[in-house]
Structure formats: structure tokens, C-alpha cells
Chains A and B, each alone.
Chain A
Amino acid sequence: MTVGERQAFADAIRHTIIRQSFQAGVGHIGSALSIADLVAAVVAEQDHSREGADRDLLVLSKGHAALALYAALHLEERIDDEAIASFCADGTLLGVHPEHALDGVDFCTGSLGQGLSLATGAALAAKIQRSGRQVYAILSDAELNEGSTWEAVIFAAQQRLDNLTILIDLNGQQALGYTPEVLEITDVAGKLDSFGWSAATVPGHDQEAIGAALAAGHGERPRALVAETTFGYGVSFMESQIKWHYLPLDDGTYATAMAELAERAVAA
């Protein structure tokens, strides 16, 4: 995908997020909007020619943003219109958090701080099995609160898992507050570097910058992109607003959000 195509893909993900979360009447919208560009970038990077056990994996460690992943799967036609329309309906496979029984979801997530260990195991398996499989994981700010995330950080560096890439959605907020007011962690990239990772800080809604960072060499080190993102990106009244972690859309906010996304598409 070109940079323009990646941007268009991310915009289409945001469009689906707003449409389906409104239809379902559920929240976690801001978190999903925050990672639309990161999901688009990973999908663009993945080698989709390999299937089965050799496929490239994406672990959505911040499982509460699964709607962004479902949107990407729908746009790629891996799940159909009926499936995406069932988001959060009774009996659906598409709940707020991802369920691995759904084709395209590699691991169930939803409990913060578990996804990086799963991704690390998958990357280690690829080494043992001499597979070219690449493993990507998308983490949230709040997952850096979890001690288990740091267990996995140390382990992945020790095992020299250069086939592992994490994208940290550093939007500066978590469920109940802004990260500096909850558990402040500064210089995330520097910390990861010091643990033996190759870490770069990138603007998290800039496909050119994300693509360049993903193309850069990183030796034998696992790789981290610390993506400086905006929570609720693309819908101005949601951006950086704590309440949009939980609130659902009503008719008025839905219309405003869709109009803003349409304006973005025209501008692009």
C-alpha cells in the first residue's frame, strides 16, 4: 500500500468504528479511533501470502479497541457485512474484546498486560520452527502499568526476538484519567531501548512516519514504535476526552462525528 492508500484505509476504519459503535450503542470509541492508523499500518506491513501457522500475527493487546480490528478485517473482506453488522449483538462473535474463534483474530485479549507475552511466545515459536512469521502487537498506555508487560519486554530482548514488533498507542490517557495523573511513565522509548529493544517515537497518525519506522533496520533487537496518538482522533469532540472511553454515541453526536469524518475524506 502507498502512504495515501494507508491513510485512506485508516479513514475507512474510523468510519466503520463510528457507524458500528453507534448501531451497537456501545463505548470504547475513542480507544478504537486512537489506533486506526496503527492497525492500518500493520495490515499494510503483514505478508498476507503466508497462511496457517506461518501467517503474520497481530495481537491486539489492548483488546477493548477490537472494533478497529474488526473494521480492518471487514474492509479486507475477511469478514462479511452481516458479521460486522452483528458487532455487540446477542450471540455475536464480535464482542467489545476480540475472540480468537473469529477468523482474523489470533488471540483473545481484554485483560490488560497479557498480549505482549502471547506475542512473544508466538515470535519465539517462529524462531524455533524456522518460520519467517512476523508478530505484531498493539499495546495501550495503561498496559505499561502492568508488571507483566515488563516481564515480556525483558524476555523478548533476552531471546533476541527481531521478528517481534510492538506499537504502543501512547495517547496519554487511560480509563479514569490522563496517564501523568495516574502512573506517569516518561521516555517510554528510552526505557525500552535500555531494556535491549530498538525503540523509536513516531507521530501516531502519520502513515509516512510509521511506514518509515517500520522499514528501518533494528538488528537482532525486538522493535517498538512508541506512537504518539490522540485519543478519539478524527472526531474533534472526542479527542483527548476521558469520558469517550465509555460513552456511546446518540443521534446528534453520531451525525456530527460522521460529518467530520466525511470532511476529512474530502480533504484527503
Chain B
Amino acid sequence: MRNDFVDELGALAAVDDRVMLLTGDLGFMVLEDFQARFPERFINCGAAEQNMVGVATGLAEAGMVPFVYSIATFSSLRPYEFIRNGPVLHGLPVRVVGIGGGFEYGHNGVTHFALEDYAVMRAQPAMTTVAPADADQARAALRATADHAHPIYFRIGKLPDPLPGLNGRFQLGRMVTLREGSDGAIVAIGAVAHEAVRAADLLEQQGINVSVGVVSSFNPSPAEDVAELLAEAPAALTVEAHYVNGGLGSFVAETIAEHGLGCRLLRAGVESMPAGEAGSQAFLEDRHELAASHLAERLQRALTTV
């Protein structure tokens, strides 16, 4: 997905000379083409993420649209106060790009697992978060937000496979409903939506038909879409490669409560800091019960007890 994203960014830069790409010394085998095509608008800021965001703020104030690029933990958490006091406070179109998310950097360990980026970005009312579920949606999201006047955090996964049924659809602040079912619902965000779709397939094989909604933005968040999807559902499961608090699960819980819905909510995500155990993404997602089989089992159990 990240190669597609940067490729699309190149297409955007070709027609919009405000677009710049700043990296915190990361992006080997990903950023070279952009650098070659737009040498004056590509800057390696070094491993100095706070300054990178500050510089981007100064650039944006002068009319540029800078994208700052690093692994999601490094681009969202290290310079968080710079993001808050910079593009958020000044209302400037800086794009913070966080590569990976959840366990995508599996073998690299906890320092590389972005598990609270949705939460901290969503806490800023003037910060938009965009988390595409596949490469085509990432391209669509980039195009759709090209003229967005305010800052955006993009969480860009590494997974290249298209999410079945998504077909590159993206609309800021809206949810995409992949399938409708009357027995329950799954709401997912980001690349882990693949597991959600597989879980729905597993449930279907057992005669349980659940709706599947894909959320891909916060602020604006698709509260009305989610409320509509869950209006008649006895139970719903949120799926995110993120801590269970502060991200999608919290957003859906707030939506259920604020709309007075009777839907029971289960939140799949990471429950505690996953220290002391590295491994592949698949291993860790299974360990934290984000794999399709766990998701299906959990929702099925809930549906038989409500």
C-alpha cells in the first residue's frame, strides 16, 4: 500500500507544485522515484521528527502542502506536540504519514507498533485521520483530500491485496458498507479489515449473516453511517490494529451511546502493551485475537447469548 500511496503522491505532485515530501530518514525502496522526479520538493530531514513537523508547519504557512513521512510511531507520537501546536493550532494543510500500524512491523518489536495513533489524533478535533484498508482506497483517499485545507494523519499499511468488495471507494467522513446481514455487524478500520471480511465469511458458512462496515476516517467520523448500520443489530464487533481504547472501538461505543442504540458492543484490538514477544504480523495478530477465526468465534458467542 505504501508504494501505491507514494506513487499516487507523485501523480499529485506532478499537477500541484505545492506538494512536498519530507522524510525522517526512512523510505528505502519507496521514496526514490519521488526524489528523482521532484528533487527540490523532496527533503530528507534526518532522524529528527519534531523538527520535521515544525519545518512542515513553516512550509505550509507559506502555501506549501508538505507530507511528512516516517514509521507511524515516529511520525505520530514523537512530534505529537509539534503537530498539535503546529498544523492543528494554525489550521494548516500538513499531512502526517504514518507507515505501518498495529503489528505490521512485527519482528521489530513494540517501539515500531503504532497502537495509539488513532486515539491521539482523534483527540484533536481539528485533526483528520485517514486509514485506508487497501492500496486502491489509499490512492482514492489521497486524491479526495488533495485540497483539504486542514491537517491530516494518514495511517498507511503495507498490505498490497485489495479488500474484497471495497473497489477503491473512499469518501471523507463516510463508512463503506461491504455487505449487509441481519444477524449482527462488524465494523473495521485499516488493513486489518481483511480479517474482518474473512471473519464474516466464516460466520456466513455457519449460517450467520453479519453486516461489514469499513470506517476509514475520523474527524469527520461516519457517526450517522455507523448508527444506521447498527440500528437493528443485536451485537457488533469493532476490529482495529490498535489499543481497544481511543480508536474505532471507542468511536463506535460513543456512537451507540449517543444514538441510544440497543446494540451490544465487543471491541477487538490490543488490550495491553505487547511487550516481550516479537514475531510475524500474522503471529501477533493471532496472539491478540485479531485473526479472522478469533473474530468470528467472539461475535458468534456474543450473538448466541444476547
Contact = CB atoms under 8 A, between A and B. Distances in A.
Interface in A109-161: 109-111, 113-114, 116-126, 128-129, 131, 147-148, 151-152, 154-155, 158-159
A147 to B, nearest CB: 8
A119 B61 CA distance: 10
Interface stretch (B43-51, B69-77, B252-260, B285-293): B43-51
Q: Which one of B56, B58, B61 has the greatest number of beta carbons of chain A within 10 Å?
A: B58
Contacts of B64: 125, 128
B41 A128 contact: yes
A53 interface: yes
Contact of A120 (B40, B55, B63): B55
* Interface of B (DSSP majority class): helix
A108 interface: yes
Contact of B48 (A110, A118, A128, A151): A151
Given A108-B85, A118-B86, A152 B62 contact: no
A218 interface: no
Interface residues of B, number: 27
A100 interface: yes
A66 to B, nearest CB: 15
Contacts, number: 97
B217 to A, nearest CB: 26
Interface in A46-63: 53
B46 A121 contact: no
A117 B55 contact: yes
Given A107-B90, A117-B50, A129-B62, A155 B55 contact: yes
B59 A124 contact: yes
A67 to B, nearest CB: 20
Nearest to B84: A111
Contact of B85 (A106, A111, A147, A159): A111
A116 B50 CA distance: 11
B58 to A, nearest CB: 2
A225 B62 CA distance: 25
Given A108-B85, A118-B86, A154 B62 contact: no
B62 A114 contact: no
B57 interface: yes
B54 A125 contact: no
Contacts of A128: 20, 40-41, 59, 64
A201 B59 CA distance: 29
B58 A118 contact: yes
Contacts of A123: 58
B227 interface: no
Contacts of B251: none
Contacts of B51: 117, 120, 148, 151-152, 155
Contacts of A120: 51, 54-55, 58
Contacts of A124: 43, 55, 58-59
B89 interface: yes
A121 B55 CA distance: 4
Contacts of A100: 90
B32 interface: no
Contacts of A125: 58-59, 61-64
Contacts of B82: 114, 117, 148
A129 B62 CA distance: 9
B148 to A, nearest CB: 19
A159 B22 CA distance: 13
Interface string B117-136: 00000000000000000000
A243 B59 CA distance: 38
Contact of A53 (B41, B43, B48, B62): B62
A64 B187 CA distance: 46
A125 B41 CA distance: 10
Interface of A: 53, 100, 106-111, 113-114, 116-126, 128-129, 131, 147-148, 151-152, 154-155, 158-159
30 contacts: A53-B62, A107-B90, A108-B90, A109-B85, A114-B50, A114-B81, A114-B82, A116-B54, A117-B57, A120-B55, A121-B54, A121-B60, A121-B62, A122-B59, A123-B58, A124-B43, A124-B55, A125-B58, A125-B61, A125-B62, A126-B62, A128-B41, A131-B62, A147-B50, A148-B50, A151-B50, A152-B54, A155-B46, A155-B48, A155-B55
